[in-house]
């Protein structure tokens, strides 16, 4: 105890309100959804359609949903365009099949890969729940009720585990915009985690190509 107090005192003596570089800090706790099903694309389409239909400058404006280009030509682009069109038509929007005399509705997809994120702490409460289970197991080990003692933490984990998911290294930014005569009338961006194997859905042009198979020339000479 004396050694601990001494170390605290010494640390206070050497502390000064200065540093060679800005010290790193973390952001306040926040949550971000993981997009890993076509239903999640529909949820996004519903959200954006609602935002467009409620926008005062777009209520009576004809819209043309742009075709996919080389950058947005994957499964997500095709599915999201169809879902967004359906939601807008269901909500009463005026959708045209040609771009003349209509505002252009388009979207952009940007995939981000983090190659070195460092340590990321577990979901809040995971460490406490694990410690609680271990402590109960130790206390109840001599008795025959050790298994029953672990039941409450197990039930709590089973109830809440549906909201847990890994952070991952892949994210996607999806921006939906409405442009008319070089004026941006509507713009909405959403960020999601995605599975690494799903990158081809969102950015097929960013998927690494497999290495070419080496060719060996065969002849009758040794």
**Per-residue tens of pLDDT for the chain, all 222 residues:** 555 555 555 555 555 678 889 988 888 988 999 999 999 999 999 999 999 999 998 988 999 999 987 666 789 999 999 999 999 999 999 999 999 999 999 999 999 999 887 666 665 655 565 565 565 555 655 655 555 555 555 555 555 555 556 778 999 999 999 999 989 999 999 999 999 899 999 998 777 676 777 776 766 666
3-state SS, residue 188: strand
Q: Is the dihedral of CA 32, 34, 39, 41 positive or negative?
A: positive
Q: What is residue 25's predicted lDDT score, i.e. its pLDDT?
A: 87
Q: What is residue 22's predicted lDDT score, i.e. its pLDDT?
A: 93
Q: What is residue 155's predicted lDDT score, i.e. its pLDDT?
A: 57
Q: What is residue 170's predicted lDDT score, i.e. its pLDDT?
A: 93
Q: How far apart are CA 194 and CA 163, in angstroms?
A: 15
Decide if 80 contacts 107 (C-beta within 8 A).
yes
Q: What is residue 61's predicted lDDT score, i.e. its pLDDT?
A: 94
Q: What is residue 41's predicted lDDT score, i.e. its pLDDT?
A: 98
Q: What is residue 128's predicted lDDT score, i.e. its pLDDT?
A: 61
Q: What is residue 2's predicted lDDT score, i.e. its pLDDT?
A: 59
Q: What is residue 138's predicted lDDT score, i.e. its pLDDT?
A: 56
Q: Identify the helix (H) or strand (E) that includes residue 189.
A: strand 183-193
pTM over 0.75: no
Q: Which residue intervals of 120-198 are DSSP H helices?
A: 126-140, 146-149, 151-160
């Amino acid at each position: 105890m004396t050694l601990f107090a001494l170390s605290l005192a010494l640390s206070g003596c050497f502390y000064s309100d200065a540093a060679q570089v800005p010290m790193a800090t973390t952001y306040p706790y926040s949550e971000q959804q993981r997009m890993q099903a076509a239903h999640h694309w529909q949820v996004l389409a519903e959200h954006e359609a609602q935002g467009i239909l409620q926008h005062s400058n777009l209520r009576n404006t004809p819209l043309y949903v742009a075709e996919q280009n080389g950058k947005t030509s994957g499964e997500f682009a095709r599915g999201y365009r169809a879902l967004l069109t359906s939601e807008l038509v269901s909500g009463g929007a005026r959708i045209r099949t040609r771009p003349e005399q209509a505002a252009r509705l388009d979207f952009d997809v940007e995939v981000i890969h983090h190659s070195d994120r460092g340590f990321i702490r577990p979901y809040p409460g995971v460490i406490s729940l694990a410690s609680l289970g271990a402590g109960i197991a130790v206390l109840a080990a001599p008795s025959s009720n050790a298994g029953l003692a672990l039941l409450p933490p197990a039930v709590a984990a089973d109830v809440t585990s549906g909201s847990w998911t890994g952070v991952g290294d892949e994210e996607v930014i999806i921006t939906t915009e409405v442009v008319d005569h070089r004026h941006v009338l509507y713009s909405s961006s959403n960020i999601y985690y995605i599975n690494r194997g799903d990158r081809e859905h969102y950015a097929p042009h960013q998927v690494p190509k497999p290495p070419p198979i080496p060719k060996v020339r065969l002849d009758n000479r040794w």
